[in-house]
Amino acid sequence: MSTAAKMHGLDGTLVEADWPPLTLDDVCAVLAHFSGCGEAREILSVSPRPFSAASMVATSGGRVFIKRHHQSVRDADGLHEEHRFMEYLRAHGAPVPRVFATSSGETAIESGEWIYEVHEVPAGVDIYEDALSWTPFRSTAHARSAGEVLAQLHLASRGFDAPRRNVQPLVASFTIFADDNPTAAMNRYCAARPALANDAVARQGCMEALELLAPFHAELKPLLPALKPLWTHNDLHASNLLWSDASNDARAVAVIDFGLADRTNAVHDLAHAIERNIVEWLELRAGDEEADDVPVHIEALYALLDGYESVRKLTDEEAAALAPMTALCHAEFALTEADYYLGVLHSEKNARVCIEDYLVGHARWFRSADGIMLDAIRDWAEKHERVEER
């Protein structure tokens, strides 16, 4: 396998991968620990996802999906947090792939500076395989089905009472705007991540984002007590779903990639699904004044919400919280990406994109885009309340 693997860059282009791709020798050594997977035969694909090296591998027993992380990004404890959640979801009927374990029960295999995990390849078609985050659904039918499967995850997650995840890169937590004092919470968040705390641009971006997002926190704050803690996926983009077929009427049949999962709440997760799939953020650049030119897919938004509520009805408080949460949910994801680029890859350039384009740029858009999407969510929430009152 060539070392010239490509990954999704922050600007939407394909760029040189940060991590070397898996080799057949790598996967043979890993699969030797998993007697039920068979012997590796061929590497079938190289994932363009940027934060790890991953491939689908043909074995004598079928196909498996192998992912390799650097231990500065994920250690065994970090992977076990994800795997326990996935196993709980599977046990409660959610369409989540199995994580394979060794004969001793280990689901994470350490080798030098690397750590590996092995997943089954679930049935379904990966029709969004090459899609970046923030690219839209192909149809409203896809949006509705994504909403349905997200609600299924939330129902299956009930009763999983693990604590919030340990501090580590690339986890989409919800702590800053869950607090009565976001400034103090932001300071604690950064203090726990020295790469952010020691970076002047990151500190300035945090202060600017707090100011821009303050009205949305004020809107959300009285509703926070009604948002029950729940372990959530936090990255339900169309490319993290497998589909029944390749048509525009396809149904989502499996959910993958739980790397960003954490203990947040259902509204936070639903807001992330909106943020990931409804706004074409790659059309927005730092300093861009043409906020109204960023495509927003309102029909897909309503389809996503209708699909979700066909499985799990939101309470009135949850519905009212959705608009401000949609403006706020991106903050900790932007910060955890910046922390990754500063603390792991030492890329100030990419960290600036996360702070200036994502954290601050998206916050500025929510304040300046004439309520394009948030008003649509608020209108939906008002109708939701009237329906409930009948």
- The pLDDT assigned to 386 comes to 61
The mean of the pLDDT values for the chain is: 93
- The pLDDT assigned to 282 comes to 86
For residue 285, name the pLDDT band (cuts at 50, 70, 90).
Answer: low
The yes-or-no verdict on residue 388 having pLDDT over 70 is no
36 vs 258, more confident: 258
How far is 100 from 36, CA to CA, in rounded Å? 8
**Amino acid code (one letter) for 65:** F
The yes-or-no verdict on residue 292 having pLDDT over 90 is no
How many Cα atoms within 13 Å fall on the side-chain side of residue 13?
3
Region of residue 200 (phi > 0: left; psi between -120 and 50: alpha; otherwise: beta): alpha
Residues 187-196 have a mean pLDDT of: 98
Residue 57 phi/psi, 5° resolution? -125, 130
Over residues 300-357, the pLDDT tens digits come to 999 999 999 999 999 999 999 999 999 999 999 999 999 999 999 999 999 999 999 9
The yes-or-no verdict on residue 153 having pLDDT over 70 is yes
Percent of the chain residues topping a pLDDT of 90:
85
- The pLDDT assigned to 205 comes to 98
How far is 134 from 334, CA to CA, in rounded Å? 14
Residues 74-99 have a mean pLDDT of: 97
Stretch among 6-15, 197-206, 370-379 having the lowest mean pLDDT: 6-15
Say if CB 153 and CB 261 are below 8 A apart: no
The yes-or-no verdict on residue 288 having pLDDT over 60 is no
Contacts 24+ apart (CB under 8 A), 9-16: 9/50, 10/350, 10/353, 10/354, 10/357, 11/282, 11/353, 12/132, 12/282, 14/48
Supply the DSSP string of 226-252, one letter for each residue: GS-EEEE-S---GGGEEESSSSTT--E
What is the SS3 assignment for 117?
Answer: strand
Residues in the chain: 390
For residue 2, name the pLDDT band (cuts at 50, 70, 90).
Answer: very low
Q: What is the SS3 string spanning 306-320?
A: HHHHHHCCCCHHHHH
How far is 277 from 279, CA to CA, in rounded Å? 6
Task: Find, among 214, 231, 218, 251, the residue nearest to 161 by Cα.
Answer: 231
Set out the domains of the chain in order of their start, with CATH numbers.
6-120 (3.30.200.20), 140-389 (3.90.1200.10)
The yes-or-no verdict on residue 295 having pLDDT over 70 is yes
Q: For residue 98, how far is the Cα from the chain centroid?
A: 19
